Amino acid sequence: MEPESGASTSRNPSLLSWVNLSRNLLLAYQSFGVVYGDLSTSPLYVFTSTFRGKLQDHRDEETIFGAFSLIFWTLTLIPLIKYVFILLSADDSGEGGTFALYSLLCRHAKFNLLPNQQAADEELSSYKYGPSQQAITSSPLKRFLEKHKRLRTALLIVVLFGACMVIGDGVLTPAISVLASVSGLQVTERKLTDGELVLLACVILVGLFALQHIGTHKVAFVFAPVVIIWLLSIFSIGLYNTIFWNPRIVRALSPYYLIKFFIKTGKEGWISLGGILLCITGTEAMFADLGHFTATSIRIAFAFVIYPCLVVQYMGQAAFLSKNLQSIHNSFYDSIPEPVFWPVFVVATLAAIVGSQAVITATFSIIKQCHALGCFPRVKVVHTSKHIYGQIYIPEINWILMILTLAITIGFQDTTIIGNAYGLACMTVMFVTTFLMTLVAIFVWQKSVVIAIAFLLFFWVIEGTYLSAAFMKVPQGGWVPLVLSCIFMVVMYVWHYGTRRKYSYDLHNKVSLKWLLGLGPSLGIVRVPGIGLIYSELATGIPSIFSHFVTNLPAFHKVLVFVCVKSVPVPYVSPEERFLIGRVCPRPYRMYRCIVRYGYKDIQRDDGDFENHLIQSIAEFIQREAEEPQYSSSESSSLDGRMAVISTRTLESTASLIVSEIEEIGVDSSIPSSKSVTLRSLQSVYDDESPQVRRRRVRFQLPNNPGMDPAVREELVDLIQAKEAGVAYVLGHSYVKARKSSSFLKKLVIDIGYSFLRKNCRGPAVALNIPHISLIEVGMIYYV
């Protein structure tokens, strides 16, 4: 038996590598539908957009060859070398995109501007991703950037500007992709008018946005096959056109033709780069959607399928155009052999919809990440899949995107003008990504500054050339992403500034712990049965909302928990590390602090178990505090007690609590078994009006443990009884106003801008999934 065991062990490495390979191949297959829909539909409009304007004066075989040579080398240098070989290695715990790069930088250097960060956040397992902090030496450049807050603010603005351009992509991609795909109907015998084409495109776009709430996963199984059929179609047509029309096009793979193109066309050739760069639009999705796949799977998909298919298609289209110069205005559809025209048209339309879907989903994700950074107003985030984590839908953003997309489609009615706008947005994102990648190479990878600067200059020269050409087209549609970005940047800045001012006010108006300790365990007020959860953005100290409440209503719950829900600069926080529990005052006060930590890609699910997890975590903390003296609260009046990380993956019985589940019909657990006659009568009315549904109810009991410390037992009994009496959520209903001595600009930003955004965004109760039946709001005026 022993030799067999040894043989199976020796086979394990190869078996493991085979499992990894098959997993990566499966992910590579799935990535076609999510990542590459946009990039693979570029052949619909690249040549048409390139040969608009004065470059039409140079329409001949040599110029066509030069344009193809430019496309080939652009595809090779940027998507293949920069993204596939370099950028995909700069992931943040498997996540990609501009926010992942920024998050990496924030963890390896003190660039973070999130206000309520703590040393405990650095102990998160995902925080330690990458080189160890001890190994990183503090370079003069790092110290210089950390010292100057304005430079850190400038870095955040650069990241947000890149994010705004991605949102611009979310508006422009559906417009150009769908309009370009339906333009094939102008080639048919019964040519549709421009108006009819735009109407058809608008119908498809409305349908696309209207179906967003269903979630990508419901139709995702058809996405990958659609893109694969599309890729096979364009590869076959490209190969046929190359062989049939002009096999000499293969020579244009040489950079010699690229140089000849610029010598011959001069300034017109440089301006035409605004059209050439459309061949790489959608490249950023490879990096941005990394979290759903693996770097290896995306590399396999691009290098072995996408890259050859696109090169052969552009080659075939150029071969066709070199012999049919008059077809330049509709080059893709004209180059399709007549027998296969209609199947290719249908697949092209479906591929355009798939490409648009991926960018819309990415836009939702970017908005969610901006909100996590405190840079976007609160919006309702709906998680659309139980199986695919990160698939989200944001209703407000969806309808705003739809209105903007329809406005651009109806307003421009021309893929070339929309292409000018689209190219500028995509190239700006790439330009920002190159800059952030350079900082990551220096501060995270610890590469030589010389190597990092060489990387920066090499790609900035290429991208800067394209960007300069794109800026030349600002009057012809290029202004659209700039205007959209400016609007979103103003919204983000106003929200970020107002939020920071409000936090600063809270920080400087905290309630003195000395005053609280002087009142004694009863706090000088009536302590009623129940648990009061007081929400605040403060990670330490007592918020002013608490003193404001007890001053106006001198009664409060027997158990008090100060809850702070905050974001940390990591993509995900595991459930085991989500809760930080501590004690605010000595044991008789029954006052605790709970900090709930989320990563910038985490979804706050409305699963109704928050209360139960919280109770279990506090009970676990009470037990742990008695066993491990280092968690004991300092009796000093100047400090909160030490905080402990409490695991909350599942509700299960522990040494401190026995958990039992029962099903109740038609009873809402938000105010369970209240001792108040009034509350019970209100509850019965609520139950009569509500549909009879089955609800899961969790009950807590103390274990029969004679060895338990009497003080711990008493505290746990109080906690369980308070839970049975009911849980109330106390939230500040704040009005933020600028001080009378403030400047006119500050009054404009706070009194008009920030006030408008607060009134028209989702309330904090919705964002935090707080049940309205248990909500108490306390009015507060903040003079900032």
323 plus 407 within the same structural domain: yes
CA gap 113, 233 in Å, rounded:
49
Residue 304 lies in a domain: yes
Residue 210 lies in a domain: yes
Q: How many CA atoms lie within 13 A of 650 on its CB side?
A: 6
Is 76 within 8 Å of 280 (Cβ atoms)? no
pLDDT in tens, 150-195: 888 888 899 989 989 989 988 999 999 899 888 888 777 667 788 8
467 plus 531 within the same structural domain: no
Mean predicted lDDT score pLDDT of the chain: 83
- The alpha helices in 523-583, defined as continuous H runs, are 544-552
Residue 411 lies in a domain: yes
pLDDT category of residue 299 using cuts at 50, 70 and 90? very high
Backbone angles phi, psi at 710, to 5 degrees: -55, -40
Q: How many domains does the chain have?
A: 2
385 plus 236 within the same structural domain: yes
**Residue 665 predicted with pLDDT over 70:** no
173 plus 53 within the same structural domain: yes
Residue with tokens 């293949």: 80
**Residue 75 predicted with pLDDT over 60:** yes
- Enter the pTM of the model: 0.84
| CA-based nearest residue to 591, from 633, 637, 559 | 559
At residue 691, the pLDDT reads 54
Secondary structure (3-state) at 343 = helix
217 plus 329 within the same structural domain: yes
Mean pLDDT of 344-362: 87
CA gap 125, 151 in Å, rounded:
29
CA gap 655, 659 in Å, rounded:
11
700: its two tokens: 């807590």
At residue 697, the pLDDT reads 66
| CA-based nearest residue to 239, from 319, 184, 297 | 319
Is 543 within 8 Å of 562 (Cβ atoms)? yes
Mean pLDDT of 205-230: 80
188 plus 274 within the same structural domain: yes
Domain boundary among 430, 463, 481: 481
307 plus 430 within the same structural domain: yes
How does DSSP assign 464-533, residue by residue?
Answer: HHHHHHHHTTIIIIIHHHHHHHHHHHHHHHHHHHHHHHHHHHHHHTPBPHHHHHHH-TTTTSEEEEEEEE
CATH of the domain at 413: 1.20.1740.10
At residue 777, the pLDDT reads 87
At residue 635, the pLDDT reads 42
Residue 664 lies in a domain: no
Mean pLDDT of 337-359: 89
Residue 127 lies in a domain: no
With vertex at residue 742, the alpha carbon angle to CA 736 and CA 744, rounded to the nearest 5 degrees, is 100
- Boundaries of domain holding 559: 510-628+641-659+696-783
374 plus 469 within the same structural domain: yes
Considering all CA atoms of the chain, what is the largest pairwise distance in Å, rounded to the nearest integer?
A: 95
**Residue 118 predicted with pLDDT over 80:** no
**Residue 128 predicted with pLDDT over 80:** no
What is the DSSP-derived secondary structure letter of residue 109?
Answer: S
Residue 146 zone, left/alpha/beta (φ > 0; ψ -120 to 50; rest): alpha
pLDDT in tens, 86-101: 999 888 877 888 888 8
pLDDT in tens, 403-419: 999 999 999 888 888 88
CA gap 479, 129 in Å, rounded:
40
Which of 231-240, 571-580, 670-679 shows the highest mean pLDDT?
A: 231-240
**Residue 132 predicted with pLDDT over 70:** no
What Cα–Cα distance (Å) separates residue 136 from each residue in 121, 442, 445, 447, 558?
A: 18, 10, 9, 11, 48
Secondary structure (3-state) at 595 = strand
**Residue 679 predicted with pLDDT over 80:** no
Domain boundary among 481, 501, 525: 481
Is 777 within 8 Å of 498 (Cβ atoms)? no
Taking the chain, what is the end-to-end CA distance rounded to the nearest angstrom? Answer: 77
